[in-house]
Structure 1
Amino acid sequence: MSETVSFGYEDVTPAEKTARVGGVFTNVAARYDLMNDAMSGGMHRLWKDRFVRRVKPRRTDQILDMAGGTGDIAFRLAESGASVTVADINPAMLDVGMKRAQERGIDGLVWTEANAETLTFPDRFFDAYTIAFGIRNVTDIPKALREAHRVLRRGGRFFCLEFSTTQWPGFAEVYDSYSHKLVPRLGQLLANDADSYRYLIESIRRFPDMPTFEGMIRDAGFIETKVEPIMGGLVAIHSGWKI
């Protein structure tokens, strides 16, 4: 791993990024849906539905939902009857998710504080690994991908939903202006926190493009990798298999 990593448009030490990302998500945990609505115009709900349809969770599956603290993906996965473990490095996000699960009467989910880079689960334990809008905030992404590969059983499926770079002519410029100028203002207006929202937008710009990230997934050991662009690549579903 290099001596510096990106925190938005800044280059910082790995330890500083981990700490500062933790601060961002502690700040936004209580307003996580609001944050995603601001960043996606509310479309994140449809994208998450589509993502879970691609996972095709089965009743017999053991699924690890990484960086899933507030439960958005886990609640959808659990409708299949699958056994879902929700893991997140941030306890504030987990607190929000557990409260939401209680309010919705959703039982049976396992909630655990965990770092995607250093999972404590045994080798070949899960049938599927999901991560939605979380991988770009990981300090050492290749290490997290290798951990995902390690904890999956043979035949296990990896799925990642993440912002990317849209290839639609004209739309990229419109979204870039919206995200850089309006989203931090909304963050200040609605959550009194422009800086956290500004980082989240900047982190999208620093994230690898679709072919590069697909290559990183292959380098971690996955085969039959696939990228499914949404809205021209504004968001993408990445997937791969472990053999």
Structure 2
Amino acid sequence: MNTPDDRSPSSRPSASGDTTHFGFREVPAADKQRLVGQVFSSVAAKYDLMNDLMSFGIHRIWKRYFVATSGVRRGDRVLDLAGGTGDIASLLQERVGPDGEIVIGDINGDMLRVGRDRLTDRGRVRGLRYAQLNAEALPFPDASFDLVTIAFGLRNVTDKQQALNEMQRVLKIGGRALVLEFSEVKHDWLKPLYDFHSFQVLPRLGKLFAGDGDSYQYLAESIRQHPPQAQLKAMMEAAVLERCDYRNLTGGICAIHSGHKL
């Protein structure tokens, strides 16, 4: 059996470990966290609006399906990584009930504050905790959570394999790791339309509604650099997660990956 440290070069930030991708640019691996942080600090206030515009609102359906099929139960303790503006945590809260707990973790303080303020304004306080953290070095003991989720955040992590290793580490035996992420489009007819939307429409929407076209250009590029379905499944298996599988949504525009700690 593989151990969490058995990583192929393609799953690391780079073959040498010195550089990694930031969109289509090659940058020092040590700089990526700062650069990604600048992107999300820039877009935090308009993040939800832009998600609606970018996906025509479909992201809300993806997220509801993600949570509905998560297997989360009443009383569970859940870690929602890249929790951002609280969309996933809000949906999870309805399912874990008053005896459950959700820790919303995000490396970006601006995103975390937007999510906390929004959920508090909606009266969603009970059972919610917030932590500014790095997914590559989670500040929790082993076997702390029944479920660990990350939605549209893994592609922004510098060392994705290490983040998956950490997700596995903090899961309880019998727990489940779930990743919702943009992936590789599977239908040939859809690919040119998707590329046009990503590289021509998306940056213009970002400039018009968020005053920042460059950040949305990066986000489109980061999707293309993210490991496709089969490769991400192999990375989850390398993290010693069992029964790993994935389910494509909307022709592979995004996918739900799952793995268990047995």
Report the Cα offset of residue 102 of structure 1: 1.3
Contact 1:22-1:90 within 8 A present in 2 as well: yes
Question: Within the alignment, does 1:179 sit opposite 2:198 as a pair?
Answer: yes
Contact 1:59-1:83 within 8 A present in 2 as well: no
Contact 1:52-1:76 within 8 A present in 2 as well: yes
- 2:115 corresponds in structure 1 to 97
Contact 1:9-1:203 within 8 A present in 2 as well: yes
Q: For 1:77, give the aligned amino acid.
A: L
Q: Of the candidates 49, 59, 78, which is equivalent to residue 34 of structure 1?
A: 49
Please show how residues 79-228 of structure 1 align to structure 2 within 5 Å: 79-80=94-95, 81=97, 82-108=100-126, 109-228=128-247
Contact 2:182-2:254 within 8 A present in 1 as well: yes
CA distance in 1, matches of 2:105, 2:189: 38
Report the Cα offset of residue 37 of structure 1: 2.0
Q: Percent identity?
A: 48
The superposition leaves residues 70-117 of structure 1 with CA deviations (integer Å, 9 ceiling, x where unpaired) of: 101000000011310000000100100111111111012001101000
TM-score, normalised with respect to structure 2: 0.91
- 2:8 corresponds in structure 1 to none
- 1:50 corresponds in structure 2 to 65
Contact 1:30-1:96 within 8 A present in 2 as well: yes
- 2:77 corresponds in structure 1 to 62
Q: For 2:144, give the aligned amino acid.
A: F
Paired positions, count: 243
CA distance in 1, matches of 2:193, 2:141: 45
CA distance in 1, matches of 2:192, 2:53: 17
Report the Cα offset of residue 15 of structure 1: 1.6
- 1:24 corresponds in structure 2 to 39
Report the Cα offset of residue 56 of structure 1: 2.5
CA distance in 1, matches of 2:27, 2:153: 19
TM-score, normalised with respect to structure 1: 0.98
Contact 1:164-1:234 within 8 A present in 2 as well: yes
SS of equivalent residue, structure 1 residue 65? strand
CA distance in 1, matches of 2:37, 2:52: 21
Report the Cα offset of residue 229 of structure 1: 0.2
Contact 1:164-1:207 within 8 A present in 2 as well: yes
- 2:9 corresponds in structure 1 to none
SS of equivalent residue, structure 2 residue 134? coil
Structure 1: 4+ residue segments shifted above 4 A: none
Query: Mind listing any 5+ residue stretches in structure 1 that lack a counterpart?
Result: none
